[in-house]
Amino acid sequence: MKWDKTKIMILAGVCILIFGWFFLSEKQEEKLKYTVIDVNGGYGYEITYKGTRVIRQEYIPAISAKQPFLSKDDAKKTASLVVNRLKNKKAPYLQKEVLDSLQIKIR
């Protein structure tokens, strides 16, 4: 097979597009982060996008009581799930059944 200028340019363009897509998608992942925070009587979490806080969750979501997480690990598991939902372009809304499946402790 003979490689002429057109084929080389097309191949180079495809390689640049693939590299660019991979590089940009990796950078997007790093822009959305969570941090576990201390709140009165327990823990909560904050989620930031490009360094700007977009969610501050001081209480366990999806329950009627205003109760903070009892452990850092519970706050971390929940925050991680919310970040993954946002990365997958899903609403950060959680139901009680999801908290049960994560084994989040509730008083």
Q: Is the pTM of this model over 0.75?
A: no
For residue 72, report the phi and psi dihedrals to the nearest 5 degrees.
-60, -35
The total number of structural domains that make up the chain:
1
Give the whole-angstrom CA distance, residue 3 versus residue 22: 27
Structure tokens at 106: 């509730």
Q: Counting every residue, how long is the chain?
A: 107
Instruction: Report yes or no on 12 lying in a domain.
Output: no
Higher-scoring residue by pLDDT: 91, 20:
91
Give me the pLDDT at residue 98, please. Answer: 94
Contact 83, 34 (CB under 8 A): yes
* 39-73 pLDDT, tens digit each: 999 999 999 998 999 999 999 999 989 999 999 99
Instruction: Report yes or no on 93 lying in a domain.
Output: yes
Instruction: Report yes or no on 83 lying in a domain.
Output: yes
Instruction: Report yes or no on 37 lying in a domain.
Output: yes
Amino acid symbol at 31: K
> Domain limits at 58?
32-101
Band (107; pLDDT cuts 50, 70, 90): confident
* Cα dihedral 72→77→83→86 (10° resolution): -140
Task: Spell out the residues 6+ positions from residue 75 whose beta carbon is closer than 8 angstroms to its own.
Answer: 36, 37, 42, 43, 44, 45, 69
Instruction: Report yes or no on 36 lying in a domain.
Output: yes
